[in-house]
Structure 1
Amino acid sequence: MDLYIRWCDANKARKKRKYYWTYVEKDGGREEIWDNLIEAIRSHYDRLERIAEDVDRLGYKVASTILSEAMPQTKKGRSGDLGEILATELVEEEIGLRVPVRRLRYKDGRNMAMRGDDFIGAGYGGKEEKLWLLKGEAKSNKVLGKATVNGARKVLNRDSGRCTPDSLLFVANRLLESSDPKDNELGRSLRDEVGVKSLRADRIDHMLFTVSGNGPHASLKTDLEAASTDRDQYVVNIHVKDHQDFIAAIFEEAEELGDD
């Protein structure tokens, strides 16, 4: 979908296996990607073809009601979900791993945060094309600060830096339910990893993803400097000045399917 390249100017710094990426909206960038972003948000709560089927059967108004029942209504819930959505889109666009399961489709309650890893990137890489994972933690704050950054790093470091077994198994089982043989293959690899835990640290990368109104807080660089060097470490910030208004507007429009 190439959201980020059209939406933001990026500043990317790298030192060995440590990546520090900051993004600032381009003039006119938001308008350029708005419709695509709306579609992406909807797709994280339901399959687009299923939404289209609702429209065909029930009309736009009822289909909008069905979609909105899956989407959070609180400021906190919307902010948290947006962080996960934007992180997922960035991983697939900029890193090339899949985030193969849209977790938000499986929430227990639309205003509740899901437990486990915020997002897991998965694929095959290296000379031998073996399983490669990315464990991610996403934060969305009007004002990003040190406490939030430190808390996110603690979560990434849990379980010896590995993806939590329950999160990995959740993704694996959804893939094994797919009719796509490639999904099944990846699901089998993930399920095996839950049992054998054979992946070394250098094949389980970490990403601390943030979107905030105050831009990249100094603690992000400090965090990256202190992070372990046995895996790829990504620290990312998306600076959206009108953070709260942006979230309100994007969800309001995402819920309203319209008739165009």
Structure 2
Amino acid sequence: MSLFDQWCETTVQENGQKQYLTIVEKPDGRGTIIDQLAETVRAHYDDLQRIADDVDELGYDGAAGILRELLPTGVRARAGDLGEILASELTAERLEFAVPVRRMRFKDGREVPMRGDDFIGVNYAADDGGLWLLKGEAKSRRTLGKTTITQAREALRRDDGRCTPSSLLFVANRLLEGDDEQAVLGRLIRNEVGRKALDKSRIDHALFTMSGNGPIDALLVDYNSAEAGRGHAVINLHIDDYDDFISEVFDAAGDLGDS
């Protein structure tokens, strides 16, 4: 069972190519998945095999010390990173797109947000016309309101609704460094940056929000007014104890235990 299925209850509202997901924790959901979620967070910042190698070389304390140097400590940086991580995981679980590059591994400072599109999803099937992309924005707020939602929607509309070229090239170049299958996909994405050949109907948009408040009227308004002609996912993950949750996740991620 997937992370979100174990952890949360999800309500889905659909209208044509649009879907609105409201996600709330099950009463015992967090306790069920906290270890899995901690490992997921670690994997977004570093390769799990590399962490295991650190344990072999340095022991659990030494390996945890390295890992904690990668994890943000500031409240704002933690919230922003966790929103992007959870958006990426939900995209793979529910929206039928892979998120092939884990951006947190490439940050140039643990408290510094990365620029460009927050997450990019990729779906490729030769028998379905080839490449399909998802442009995503993730917002994490203790109290989410209209202004933040409007800013996220404006970001999705930039570049005529296409993925930001620099963000696409970042993904493409990381894939070109991988195995043969990844390199083929990386080449296709670089071609898209050069040709801008994808129809808007093959570039979906996703707005993922994590908040301490909910339900959020402005988010439903955004969903209802999203432009026609492309797929849209508007998502809210409501966490009542928003601040405590973020601290709990990062504390668990930085603790490798002793076995």
TM-score by length of 1: 0.97
State the Cα distance separating 1:64 from its structure 2 match: 0.8
Cα RMSD for the two superposed structures: 1.1
Cα contact 1:123–1:186 (8 A) shared by 2: no
Q: Could you say which residue in structure 2 is the equivalent of 1:28?
A: 28
The match for 1:99 is: 99
| Matches of 1:209 and 1:18, distance apart in 2 | 14
Residue equivalent to 2:251? 252
1:47 has 2:47 as partner: yes
SS in 2 for 1:115: coil
Q: Deviations over 1:174-230 (max 9, x none)?
A: 00001x221111111111111011001000000000011102310011111111111
Task: Find the counterpart in structure 2 of residue 202 from structure 1.
Answer: 201
CA contact (8 A) 2:35 2:252 kept: no
- What amino acid sits opposite 1:168 in the alignment? L
Equivalent residue for 1:11? 11
Q: Deviations over 1:146-192 (max 9, x none)?
A: 011000000000000000000000000000001x2211111111111
SS of 2:137's partner is strand
CA distance in 1, matches of 2:237, 2:135: 19
Q: Which amino acid aligns with 1:250?
A: V
1:42-99 CA deviation, whole Å, 9 max, x = no partner? 0000010000000111111111111111111100000000000000000001122110
Provide the C-alpha distance between the structure 1 equivalents of 2:8 and 2:129, rounded to a whole number of angstroms: 32
Aligned equivalent of 2:187: 188
- Report the secondary structure of 2:158's partner residue: helix
* 8 Å contact kept, 2:145–2:218: yes
Distance 1:140 1:36 in 2: 21
CA deviation profile, 1:15-36 (whole Å, cap 9, x unmatched)? 0011000011111111111111
Aligned residues with identical type, % of pairs: 54
- SS of aligned partner of 2:117: coil
Say if 1:7 and 1:32, in contact at 8 Å, map to a contact too.
yes
Match in the other structure for 1:220: 219
Matches of 1:216 and 1:197, distance apart in 2: 37
CA distance in 2, matches of 1:101, 1:38: 19
**Match for residue 240 of structure 1?**
239
Asked if the contact 1:153–1:208 (Cα under 8 Å) also holds between the matched residues in 2, the reply is yes
Q: Determine the structure 2 residue equivalent to 1:59.
A: 59
Alpha-carbon distance between aligned partners in 2 of 1:8 and 1:223, rounded to the nearest angstrom:
23
Cα shift at 1:127? 5.1
Read off the aligned partner of 1:204 and give its amino acid letter: I
Secondary structure at the counterpart of residue 186 of structure 1: helix
Aligned residue runs from structure 1 range 8-157, under 5 A: 8-125=8-125, 128-157=128-157
Q: Secondary structure at the match of 2:136?
A: strand
How far apart, CA to CA, are the structure 1 residues paired with 2:35 and 2:16? 37
Structure 1 consecutive aligned stretches of length 4 or more whose deviation exceeds 4 Å: none
Q: Distance in 1 between matches of 2:39 and 2:56?
A: 18
How far apart, in 2, do the equivalents of 1:29 and 1:125 lie? 34
Bigger CA drift: 243-252 or 121-130?
121-130
Secondary structure, aligned partner of 2:234: strand
SS in 2 for 1:59: helix
How many residues end up aligned between the 2 structures? Answer: 259
CA distance in 1: counterparts of 2:96 and 2:205, whole angstroms: 14
Which ranges in structure 1 are unaligned for 5 or more consecutive residues?
none
